[in-house]
Structure 1
Amino acid sequence: MSKNDPPIFDSSDSVEYADGPSPINNPDSLPAGATVLEEAIEENQFQNGACSVHCPGCAEHLETYSEGLPEVFTHFAAQCEECEASIRRWSAVLVPGKSIPPFSHNELQEIVQSYWEEQFRQGVETDGLPHTREFGDECERLADKWGWDWEVSCPLCSRSLTELGSNHLGYHHWSYEPDVGTSLCRPCHDYIHGTKGGGSRTAANDQDWRAKEIGLRDFRDLAVIRLAIRHRHAHDDGRADDAAYLKQRYNIPISQERIQTLITETRNRNRVNDALMQHGGSPIIDSNRARATR
Structure 2
Amino acid sequence: MTQAYWNEWLWAGITNYKGQPRNDEYTDRLSMKASEFGWDWELTCPLCRRGISQLSREIRDISDSLDYHHWSTNPDQGITLCRECHDIIGFGSYDNEVEKRAHEWGFRSRNDLQIIRLALREAIVTDRPVRLEMAADLVNRYNLIQSSGEVKELLKVVLRDSDLYDRFVDNSLYHGFC
TM-score above 0.5: yes
Contact conserved, 1:243 with 1:259, CA < 8 A, in 2?
yes
Q: Among 83, 90, 109, which residue is 1:218 paired with?
A: 109
Indicate the residue corresponding to 1:276 in structure 2. 168
Indicate the residue corresponding to 1:10 in structure 2. none
1:268 Cα deviation (Å)? Answer: 4.1
Does residue 205 of the first structure (1) align with residue 96 of the second (2)?
A: yes
After alignment, is 138-147 or 222-231 more displaced? Answer: 138-147
1:238 Cα deviation (Å)? Answer: 7.0
Q: Distance in 2 between matches of 1:286 and 1:163?
A: 14
Aligned letter for 2:50?
R
Indicate the residue corresponding to 2:84 in structure 1. 187
Per residue, is there more helix in 1 or in 2? 2
Contact conserved, 2:12 with 2:80, CA < 8 A, in 1?
yes
* Secondary structure of residue in 1 paired with 2:173: coil
Does residue 175 of the first structure (1) align with residue 62 of the second (2)?
A: no
Q: Among 146, 149, 154, which residue is 1:262 paired with?
A: 154
Larger Rg: 1
Does residue 246 of the first structure (1) align with residue 138 of the second (2)?
A: yes
Per residue, is there more strand in 1 or in 2? 1
Could you say if the C-alpha distance between residues 230 and 286 of structure 1 is closer, same or farther in structure 2, counting changes exceeding 3 Å? closer
Q: Distance in 2 between matches of 1:225 and 1:267?
A: 10
Indicate the residue corresponding to 2:26 in structure 1. 135
Unaligned runs of 5+ in 2: none
- Listed as ranges, the matches of 1:64-75 within 5 Å are none
Contact conserved, 1:225 with 1:267, CA < 8 A, in 2?
no
What's the CA shift string for 1:112-168, capped at 9, x where partnerless? 101101113333235632121122111111112222111111011110111122424
Contact conserved, 1:121 with 1:249, CA < 8 A, in 2?
no
Q: Distance in 2 between matches of 1:204 and 1:218?
A: 10
Does residue 124 of the first structure (1) align with residue 14 of the second (2)?
A: yes
Identity %: 35
Indicate the residue corresponding to 1:145 in structure 2. 36
1:219 Cα deviation (Å)? Answer: 0.4
Q: TM-score, normalised by structure 1?
A: 0.53
Q: Distance in 2 between matches of 1:236 and 1:123?
A: 27
Unaligned runs of 5+ in 1: 1-110, 197-202, 288-294
Q: TM-score, normalised by structure 2?
A: 0.84
Aligned residues: 170
Q: Distance in 2 between matches of 1:174 and 1:282?
A: 20
